[in-house]
């Protein structure tokens, strides 16, 4: 049995730490945040569409095409197509967000932005304000133009700074109803394959069919190169039809080319066997005829041919030598002084610039005053504003 050493107390024995005893370690408590609630996934929302011809009008039952786009533009400026529907009253399942919806009925269409909210069904009504345009073309005699000879271009009413219009539909056929947005349009009718065309302005009203009838004045012209008048047409002939200003209307190769030309003055050049033969002619509205060019009349000289193909330009205003037109061309005379007139100066009113007739009679005599009075009342070449 072990004996207790001297001086050793019970306190030291029981309270002193033992060399090999493990030490107690302090623990740090870290608070834990509660887990975030789970996000509910976005659910598609049913969105239905319908279209009316006019406000309060009938609902369209066929012929519609619906297109749904993402309202946020892409980097190239376009929009992502989400879905296409050809039913008259479709229902699309769309996630909450903004969309562009286009309803097309023929060439009539309407685009609107819609906002879809979660858990809420939506019904959208589109009022298209659609009208119809029916076109027909008549000859100068009042008869219908032959089938296949007429086509129409439907263009915008507005013009750009160069006078150009936007083409909405090209080569439309007559006797067909074209569905368009209500509004003003420019309609151009082409008769034949040359220069017989007429343009008119039309207004399409919503919910109605507008009928446009155009009367053409062109004529069907057949060309023949013959040895002598009344002879047989010669093949292997190149034809060039020119306006009086030298512009080429049509070119063709053959023995009997036929074209429909607008009324006016023309020249034709027939090239055959290295020689050129020409003839000038005019066309009356609706007067179909044949134009014969006779070889026996002789070929055209190079100088005369150049005059047809490249006629001299008309003299510019201000070179005519009349009162109010000086020899300078660009800067004319004002009709009263010998110094060139300033083109930017206020224009003269000839009625106010000429002395009264009574004064003229006293100055130059009755006969001369009568002549001057007539000249002033009808003189169109004075630079001035119209008489009051």
* End residue of a domain, out of 197, 215, 233: 215
Residues 297 and 224 in one domain: yes
d(CA 202, CA 216): 17
pLDDT band at 29 (very low <50, low <70, confident <90, very high): low
Cβ atoms within 10 Å of 383's Cβ, excluding its own: 21
Sign, CA dihedral 85-91-93-98, equals positive
Residue 4 lies in a domain: no
Count structural domains, the chain: 4
Domain assignment of residue 207, yes or no: yes
Buried b (16+ CB within 10 A) or exposed e, 200-222: eebebebbeebebebbbbbbbbe
Q: Please determine, for residue 224, whether its predicted confidence score (pLDDT) is greater than 70.
A: yes
Indicate whether 192 belongs to any domain: yes
Q: Determine the longest span between alpha carbons in the chain, in angstroms.
A: 176
Q: Are 270 and 329 contained in the same domain?
A: no
* 238 shares a domain with 211: no
> 302-317 pLDDT, tens per residue?
888 888 888 777 666 5
Distance of CA 35 to the CA centre of its chain: 62
Domain end: 77, 97, 128, which one? 128
Q: Kindly state the average pLDDT of the residues 332-344.
A: 42
Kindly state whether residue 205 falls inside one of the protein's structural domains: yes
Tell whether 117 and 138 lie within a shared domain: no
Residue at token pair 């946020």: 72
Residue 256 counted as domain residue = yes
What are 120-156's pLDDT values in tens digits? 889 999 999 999 999 999 998 899 999 999 999 999 9
CA distance 245 to 252: 20
The 10s digit of each residue's pLDDT in 163-189 is: 999 999 999 999 999 999 999 999 999
CATH number at residue 96: 2.60.40.1120
User: Do residues 114 and 87 share a domain?
Assistant: yes
Mean pLDDT to the nearest integer, 334-359: 43
* Residue 300: inside a domain: yes
CA dist 72 and 114 (Å) reads 12
Half-sphere exposure in the Cβ direction for 127 (13 Å, CA): 7
Paired strand residues for 149? none
User: Where a domain ends, among 179, 196, 215?
Assistant: 215
Residues 88 and 165 in one domain: no
Phi and psi, residue 65, nearest 5°: -130, 125
Beta strands 45-52 and 122-127: pairing type? parallel
- Structure tokens given for 167: 């083409």
Residues forming a β-bridge with 59: 52
How large is the average pLDDT for residues 212-235? 94
Structural domain span for residue 186: 131-215
Q: Are residues 184 and 139 located together in one domain of the fold?
A: yes
* pLDDT mean over 273-285: 93
């Amino acid at each position: 049995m072990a004996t207790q050493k001297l001086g050793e107390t019970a306190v030291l024995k029981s309270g002193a730490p033992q060399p090999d005893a493990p030490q107690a370690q302090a623990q740090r408590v870290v608070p834990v945040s509660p887990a975030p609630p789970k996000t509910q996934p976005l659910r598609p929302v049913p969105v239905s569409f319908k279209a009316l011809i006019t406000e309060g009008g009938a609902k369209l039952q066929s012929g519609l095409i619906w297109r749904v786009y993402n309202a946020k533009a892409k980097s190239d400026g376009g929009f992502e197509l989400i879905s296409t529907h050809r039913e008259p009253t479709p229902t699309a399942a769309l996630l909450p967000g903004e969309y562009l919806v286009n309803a097309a009925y023929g060439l009539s269409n309407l685009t609107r932005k819609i906002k879809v909210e979660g858990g809420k069904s939506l019904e959208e009504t589109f009022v298209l304000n659609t009208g119809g345009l029916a076109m027909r073309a008549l000859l100068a005699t009042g008869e219908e133009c032959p089938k296949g000879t007429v086509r129409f271009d439907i263009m915008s009413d507005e013009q750009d700074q160069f006078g150009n219009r936007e083409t909405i539909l090209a080569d439309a056929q007559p006797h067909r109803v074209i569905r368009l947005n209500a509004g003003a349009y420019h309609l151009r009718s082409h008769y034949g394959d040359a220069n017989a065309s007429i343009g008119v302005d039309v207004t399409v009203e919503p919910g109605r069919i507008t009928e446009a009838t155009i009367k053409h004045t062109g004529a069907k012209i057949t060309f023949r190169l013959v040895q002598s008048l009344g002879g047989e047409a010669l093949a292997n002939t190149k034809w060039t039809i020119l306006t009086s200003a030298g512009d080429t209307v049509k070119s063709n190769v053959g023995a009997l080319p036929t074209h429909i030309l607008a009324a006016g003055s023309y020249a034709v050049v027939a090239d055959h066997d290295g020689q050129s033969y020409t003839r000038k002619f005019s066309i009356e509205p609706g007067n179909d005829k044949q134009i014969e060019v006779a070889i026996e009349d002789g070929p055209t000289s190079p100088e005369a041919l150049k005059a047809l193909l490249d006629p001299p330009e008309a003299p510019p205003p201000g070179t005519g030598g009349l009162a109010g037109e000086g020899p300078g061309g660009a800067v004319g005379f004002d009709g009263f002084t010998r110094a060139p007139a300033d083109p930017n100066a206020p224009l003269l009113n000839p009625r106010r610039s000429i002395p009264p007739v009574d004064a003229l009679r006293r100055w130059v005599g009755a006969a001369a005053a009568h002549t001057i009075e007539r000249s002033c009342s009808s003189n169109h070449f004075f630079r001035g504003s119209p008489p009051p």
